[in-house]
């Protein structure tokens, strides 16, 4: 079975054309094909665009397929004394703001 990078190189017609299309050196492309290293997220996204989606960025850079954490997952909510549990505005604040 050929690697995703071997198929990418075939799509562009060789390592040189692949390198030119993606703005990297031929040696970098060779490293991908030989499994020495992967491509950057930026190059993976560019490759997806240049191939019109034939090669997804996530297939070239698997870390792009992993869900990224969100603020609600990484930052715990802070409760202040007297703050309602739903985080609503203090009723006295809305009364002061009303005309």
Q: For residue 90, is it within any domain?
A: no
Q: CA torsion sign, 53 to 31 to 29 to 11?
A: negative
Q: What is the pLDDT of residue 1?
A: 39
Higher pLDDT, 16 or 78: 16
Q: For residue 77, is it within any domain?
A: no
CATH number at residue 14: 1.10.260.40
| Count of domains forming the chain | 1
Residues in the chain, total? 99
- Residues 39-85: tens digit of each pLDDT: 999 999 999 999 999 999 999 999 898 776 665 566 666 666 666 66
State yes or no: pLDDT of 16 exceeds 70. yes
State yes or no: pLDDT of 20 exceeds 90. yes
Q: Which domain holds residue 12?
A: 4-65
Predicted model pTM: 0.66
CB distance 30 to 24 below 8 Å: no
Structure tokens given for 40: 């950057």
């Amino acid at each position: 079975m050929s690697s995703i990078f071997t198929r990418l190189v075939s799509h562009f017609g060789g390592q040189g054309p692949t390198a030119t299309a993606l703005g990297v050196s031929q040696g970098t492309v060779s490293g991908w094909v030989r499994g020495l290293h992967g491509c950057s997220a930026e190059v993976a996204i560019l490759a997806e665009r240049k191939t019109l989606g034939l090669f997804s960025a996530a297939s070239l850079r698997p870390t792009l397929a992993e869900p990224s954490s969100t603020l609600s997952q990484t930052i715990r909510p802070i409760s202040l004394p007297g703050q309602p549990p739903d985080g609503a505005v203090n009723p006295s604040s809305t009364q002061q703001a009303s005309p």
